[in-house]
Amino acid sequence: MSFWRTKLEAELRPYGKLAVAFSGGCDSTLLAEAARRVLGGGNVLLLLADSVLLPRREAEQARTLAAAAGLRLETVPLDPLADEAVRANGPLRCYYCKKRIFTALGERARSLGFAVLADGANFDDRGDYRPGAKAADELGVAHPLRELPKQAIRDLAREWKLPVWNLPAAACLASRIPAGTPLDREALATVEAGENAVAARGYTGFRVRRIGPETARLEFRADDLERAEAERGSLETLLAPLGFETVEIALYRTGSMNRASGA
């Protein structure tokens, strides 16, 4: 890993000070730790965009990780649903949402003396459909991990004993709603409650998709699919109080609801 570590250190050193758009996922956590090692903790600021689209468990995980690293974390409250372009949930939803997020984070960073805002975009992201990346580029967000493959990021995170080194990829709650279906707080809250309930059963790396007002599609990793099928009845009972009368079980596919979501 010395090649990728050296490359990342060389990428970070010229910044001097760096604000990181922090979600608590593998990419942004690795970036935060690398910046701490290279620039010193006092020269690193973590910014968490907190909104109805961010699951509460992920927000708490981000705060826990920042505290463990001894890094300053600023929470920036946002209301993406105030933007009609986000609320409409069209194919460019992610672009408009990320533009709102990165604008707010950049303003907070500059107000605190940090001229550069960076995100955790990596080399593998180039092959995905990510309108949000266009918004980041338009706003001058730096991408220190842009040359690192995802596996190199995971390997380096593991070397540094970061607890998120093998954490499954996450996506905002809007990615659980079909493209073109307007977003509302009730639907997002229902999806989050459903995922919390399924996670409590020990499942990881899954999605609860709200494909209709009373229909949920549970998508599981291949190694959990057989167990989920065997537990279909109990999963249906688990989600019934949330208004889901029909529960489908399927294999997890990235972006199955919305190619713009990266979900």
In a domain, 197, yes or no: yes
134 and 86, same structural domain? yes
Residues 193-229 pLDDT 10s: 999 999 999 999 999 999 999 999 999 999 999 999 9
Q: Is there a single domain that holds both residue 69 and residue 126?
A: yes
CATH number of 42's domain: 3.40.50.620
Claim to verify: residue 33 and residue 98 sit in the same structural domain: yes
Q: Which residues of 245-255 are buried (b: 16+ CB within 10 A; e: fewer)?
A: eebebeebeee
Q: At what angle do helices 93-111 and 131-138 cross, to 10 degrees?
A: 30
Q: What is the pTM of this model?
A: 0.92
Q: Is 97 a catalytic residue?
A: no
Mean residue pLDDT of the chain comes to 94
In DSSP notation, 126-177 reads GGS--HHHHHHHHTT-B-TTTTS-HHHHHHHHHHTT-TTTTPPP---GGGGS
Query: Are residues 120 and 48 part of one domain?
Result: yes
What percentage of the chain exceeds 90 in pLDDT? 89
Give CA–CA dist 233/241, Å, rounded: 14
Domain count of the fold of the chain: 2
Residues 200 and 91 placed together within one structural domain of the fold: no
pLDDT at residue 128, as a whole number: 67
Same domain, 154 and 196: no
Whether residue 72 is found in the same domain as residue 19:
yes
Q: pLDDT tens digits, residue range 233-262?
A: 999 999 999 999 999 999 998 765 544 344
Give the pLDDT of residue 262: 43
Residue 260 within any structural domain of the chain? no
Let me know whether 190 and 212 are in one domain: yes
Average pLDDT over residues 105-114: 99
Q: What is the CATH number of the domain that holds 223?
A: 3.30.300
- Of 124, 159, 194, at which residue does a domain stop? 159
The catalytic residue among 26, 94, 97, 172 is 172
DSSP 227-240: HHHHTHHHHHHHHG
Question: Which residue segment(s) compose the domain that 224 sits in?
Answer: 173-251
